[in-house]
Structure 1
Amino acid sequence: MQTDVTRLIQSHRSIRKYIDKPIPEEVLEDVLACAQWAPSSHNVQAYSIIVVRSAEKKKQLAQLCGGQKWVETCPVFLVFCADFYRLKLTCDMRGTELLADEVENMLVAAVDTALAAENALVAARSHGLGGVMIGGIRNQPEDVARLLQLPELTAPIMGMCLGYPDQDVEQKPRLPQRAVIHEEEYRTEHLPAALEEYEAISAEYYSRRTKGELTEGWTRQMADYLKKPRRQHLGDFLRQQGFPLK
């Protein structure tokens, strides 16, 4: 049985084109308040959000994200950062040491940041906005950190374009539930058939969306995507930012 909220969540689409209309301040304030009310492990709240409206700064970020023009053209671009700088100040205030090299702490920061971002996107959509997550914010993290003046113990995790939609895109199909949802224990016997089914569904979707230019489905795309190293510079960047990961 669906509710208004579940219908909104299940109608998700990534929106990359926006009409020339600013986001009212009270709407953005509500979106950001919702981000802050996301769950947080032990209430650590290990994230910060940079709100970018400057046309010049968005233009630079668009290039740093791999030439994604919608970063430049969206009315508001949010940068969600893992943040232990504020927690270091907290520890300094109380005379304790922050163990920034703990893998658990980095995981908490990444999860907290992602939960806040998802809350923000759902809240934005409830106001009639559209958006898209931007993983390309991690392409050149040192330059992003310099541009946004990120202090030590912070790192950009994802960006988010927000604006009023100027496109009506088809919803991208998701994996069959039986490939994702398991009762009581992880079951593997039905996965090959579910993946083949999804390959056919997703191949048909991509072929239709690209007018035949892309005919490979999800499994073939993932097999190609995951065989290549990606953003190998992130480890060095995190260490430079004060995260001496074990």
Structure 2
Amino acid sequence: MLKPQDLLVTFKILSYEIGCSSVESRSHNSRKAPWVIFEPISVYDREKDEIIVSDEPDDFEAADLALIEQFILEGESEEQRASWSYRKLAQQLFMSLSEVSQAIKRASKAGLLIKRGAKGVRVNKTVLIDYVRFGAGVSFFVERGKVVRGIPTASAASSFKDIFVSSAEFPTVWPCARGTVKGIAIAPIYKSVPKAVMIDPWLYKQLALLDIFRVGSAREKEEAMPYLAKLKGNV
């Protein structure tokens, strides 16, 4: 049986297959990089703010913050993006090596990943697209929660907010004390997603797209289909 982290690992592997950079240039820094989601809240006063924060006010450990800051400031070279390893996936997805290993095994058995001999695995994009379209919303159904501080997702994500017209008072967000938006909470596909997307904008876009098929309306899902179909062309 597939677990939600299996989809996360599959999308991250596809990110490497496509070769998207974590940041557009190694010379940029967080102040000059609008695509960076990370935002410290060292001066955040919860008692004076009307925003309700997630149940884990700040679950980013010092090592997590250091890794995120490193990627924001330095990114990865083309050579580093040319391949992935289990250890690299674990580090960038904030998962353990055993979690990544088991996720790859399950995804392979389910057909999301295809073995390619001694070279490891590659993503079966046709199966991934079909599963996101028809299965993810059932297998990983999620309900909207309370108003929280978080990272916009689904049709409210930065890649889609100008495309989908919404009359909702609040956007949909992943609860995160280091998020920048006040919105209605939904649980991400896996607990480490708010950290993982801070160093990989492509992954952020795809997981937000996934959430459209988890919580979006029928119209939103239909309008999102062209973006899902683009995965076949490595866009």
TM tier, shorter chain?
Answer: under 0.3
Highest RCO, 1 vs 2 (Cα 8 Å, sep ≥ 6): 2
Tell me which structure has the larger Cα radius of gyration.
1
Q: What TM-score do the two structures reach when normalised by structure 1?
A: 0.22
- So what's the TM-score if we normalise by structure 2? 0.22
